[in-house]
Amino acid sequence: MIGTGILKGMKVTFEHMMMTQKETVAYPEERVYTPPRFRGAPAWVFDPNGHARCVGCGICVFACPHGVIEMRTSETPDKVRMVDYYSIHITRCLFCGLCVEACPFRAIEMSDEFELAGYQRNDLTYTLKDWLGPNQREYHDEPRAQVAT
């Protein structure tokens, strides 16, 4: 019958209009919910004492398929490896999460940070300063819960 398709379409529209709960978030005053599997910017994880979990092994650097992680380390006189520089060029990050999977210490995670705009390219290279400074992009006592994929 002519017009049946239109009626069916109108029925679906009407059902959605009347029965679906509206969810409006007053962003940026309110932050939108990010589910546990959300992949925002990769970020360092710290223990409850504020110490980074990263030991500078460099596995994440090799695991990154796009080569966006840079790290420089040094050794103290008593042979303790220190991470002097660690950065992620977020403009080239694929958000694949391979660095997170590769890290044997769960020292890096895909955070819920999605506000990744900047006025200059240099603003988009996340360094230790960004994670440790007064405007920490991400700080967790414990890594986010792992969710089976």
Shortest spacing between CB 20 and ligand SF4, in angstroms? 34
**Identity of the residue, 45 or 145, whose beta carbon is nearer to ligand SF4 in the bound complex:** 45
Q: Which is nearer to ligand SF4, 22 or 121 (CB)?
A: 121
CB contact at 8 A, 52 and 140: no
Q: Which residues are CB-contacts of 65 (< 8 A; sequence separation ≥ 6)?
A: 94, 96, 98
Residue with tokens 């709960």: 21
Phi, psi of 36 (to 5 degrees): -60, -30
- Minimum CB distance to ligand SF4 smaller for 99 or for 138: 99
Q: Which is nearer to ligand SF4, 3 or 48 (CB)?
A: 48
CB of 90 to ligand SF4, least distance (A): 8
CB of 138 to ligand SF4, least distance (A): 13
Residue 119 CB, nearest approach to ligand SF4 (Å): 22
What residues make contact with ligand SF4 under the rule CB under 6 A? 42, 54-60, 63-64, 66, 68-69, 88, 93-99, 102-103, 105, 107-108
- In the complex, the smallest distance separating the C-beta of residue 108 from ligand SF4, rounded to whole angstroms, is 4
Q: CA 99, CA 110: separation in Å to the nearest integer?
A: 9
Q: Indicate the burial class of 43 (C-beta count within 10 angstroms; 0-12, 13-18, 19 or more).
A: buried
Distance CA(89)–CA(71), nearest Å, equals 12
DSSP H or E stretch at residue 109: strand 108-110
Whose Cβ is closer to ligand SF4: residue 22's or residue 131's?
131
